[in-house]
Amino acid sequence: MADKLIIVESPAKANTIKKFLGGNTKVVASMGHIRDLPKSKLGINIENNFEPEYINIRGKGDLIKSLKKEAKAAKKVYLATDPDREGEAIAWHLAHILDIKNTEGTRVTFNEITKTAVQKAIKEPRDIDKNLVDAQQARRVLDRIVGYKISPVLWKKVQKGLSAGRVQSVAVKLIVDREKEIENFIPQEYWNIFATLQDEKSKKTFEAKFFGKNGKKQELHSKEEVDLILKEVEKSKFIINEIKRGEKKRTPAPPFTTSTMQQEASRKLGFTLKKTMSIAQSLYEGIHIPEKGTIGLITYMRTDSTRISEEARVTAKKHIVETYGEKYYENRYYKTNKESQDAHEGIRPTYSDLEPESIKDSLTKDQYKLYKLIYNRFMASQMASAIYDTMSINIKANNYDFKANGQSLKFKGFMALYVEGTDGKEETEQAILPNLEEKQEVNKQKLEPKQSFTEPPPRYTEASLVKALEEKGIGRPSTYSPTITTILERRYIEKEQKQLKPTELGKIVNKLLVENFGDIVNVEFTANIENKFDGIAEGKQQWKKIIEDFYGPFEQEVEKVEKELEHVVIEPEVSDVQCELCGRMMVYKYGRYGKFLACPGYPECKNTKPIIQTIDILCPKCGGKIQVRKTKRKRNYYICENNPKSCDYISWNKPGEEKKPKKQEKKEKK
């Protein structure tokens, strides 16, 4: 008989915390949720105040029997599921299954899986927080109602297999709306004039850009305007009118939240959201490190807070001062967003002394990359600002103004370790300007006009979509990854390189939802629902009242659409590939293994062919086209179209970018 039984979600987490607990303690895993709404029906008793009809999840019968046996044999049961609403709900369901009363103080939580945190949590158990449970129930029930009421309408009116979701439908709408912006965008012409100037003393050249006339900014929209200015300044002297010298500080980014970690891992590592969260989960639950055993390497990875503990602040200071010196450290506190739940810390390493390089051999390649990103981001967040010397110069040519800006890095500060990525074009370092003086004449070497056109907004990437959802208050940290995964799997959107683009199916479903279920895809409405969930978690609102207020108008909308909406026909997307058997233009279809080409003449003509992606670089061996193919593990490789007939070219890297093959690349099977 165990004195203590501790139940967590996963075996990995169980293995990690076992070694922190002495005595007669047993740690077992529930393998996630053990009770949920049934898949075969709505599972919500509308007539009985929206009471959920939970059932034991199919296939978990033996596990539940085992948990009951272990709980009955233990003197004390602790429910140590994750420290968020989902984890609180799992603990609540476990308490129900195991017949544990909520007055017994069985709930324990820890933000990091370290000996100190786990032992402290066991000493300070609490009751299950029913407010957090109710917030999770409200989300689950509302999402179930939306999904199970709208999806059948889509099956009847569009095609089988479609689904609608409260958050996923808003995400699709954002992507569709952005595509419309791009399609409707009308480029506007604009011009710049660049002057290449030389300092007579140092012979150094620098570039100045046209600003305006008589100190007022002037935008240039036509060649005629530009030609007039060029004519007037062609023979004029270029005189340094004003020099401003200064200092600019650049501060580090705060520790990661879930969304900023997902964004940065996408930008810098090329990880999908799903991959990032899976790797982060493994780092949180525990990795075996020689001489230390299995330990959790990062704090809990589902958070929207940037707060860090005082203990972490102290250990970060020690590491920074020892590694870089006193002047590189700065004690920083980050304000948490007012919408943030702030239940626990930002994402950080649990042990500041475990530098990424020191444990690299214990991690997979991707675990190492993400751990290093989290480690460096956190350490940089406690470091001093980078300092630049700046120079801004105003140059006169007749009455026209040209400006030149330059800067030089004076002190690296946090940039010695980490610099945050960007979604757009990477920031470029400004040139260092010559040591000029006011009233000095500089030699004009060249005047170069440049025509440009405004560009449409870019398509969303996974990273920028997460950023947009977060800024608009749509969803929460735990929902971003499954939301984007779902709409990709449903083929409402597709990826082109890293960009997210709506499919024809996505556009049709979005149009149907916008015209018939306006609230469901309304950004403000969805964000307001999220705020109500937060209100439930804080004990300020009753969850069933929120469902009741939503359900009445929603049910009326569903009934109206079912009666009035006509059947929607989805025409397949036509390709530019001609069927070599019957001459028809082939169409795009989706199958078990993704997109392929098929003849629209089926069943008379059953011709199909795969979609072959090629690149603009020719085969270095025979000059043939290079095709991009994927291994079973979805990794790209490059092969000549003539392989294996007359050419044997094949490579992991693009032609011209070949590297020495790594061991794991040799082992990977196609």
Question: Would you call the peptide bond into 434 cis, given omega within 30 degrees of 0 as the criterion?
Answer: no
- Partners of 288 in the β-ladder: 294
DSSP-based three-state secondary structure for 609? strand
Distance CA 163, CA 150 (A): 7
Distance CA 21, CA 10 (A): 17
DSSP-based three-state secondary structure for 306? coil
Of 475, 466, 469, 508, nearest to 491 (Cα)? 508
Provide the CA 159 distance to its chain's centre, in angstroms: 30
Q: Which of 54, 78, 284, 300 is catalytic?
A: 300
DSSP-based three-state secondary structure for 446? strand
Query: Strand 25-29 to strand 4-8: parallel, antiparallel, or no bridges (unpaired)?
Result: parallel
Q: Under 8 Å CB-to-CB from 635, ≥6 apart: which residues?
A: 652, 668
What is the per-residue DSSP string for 612-665? Answer: PEEEEEEPTTT--EEEEEE-TT--EEEEETTTTTT---EESS-TT---PPPHHH
Angle at which helices 480-489 and 462-471 pack, to 10 degrees?
130
What is the per-residue DSSP string for 206-252? Answer: EEEEEEEETTEE--B-SHHHHHHHHHHHTTS-EEEEEEEEEEEEEPP
What the block records as the tokens of 217 is: 């900014």
* Identity of the residue numbered 357: E
* Residue 460 annotated among the catalytic residues of the structure: no
**Which class for 657: exposed (0-12), middle (13-18), buried (19 or more C-beta within 10 A)?**
exposed
DSSP-based three-state secondary structure for 401? strand
Q: Which residues form the catalytic set?
A: 300
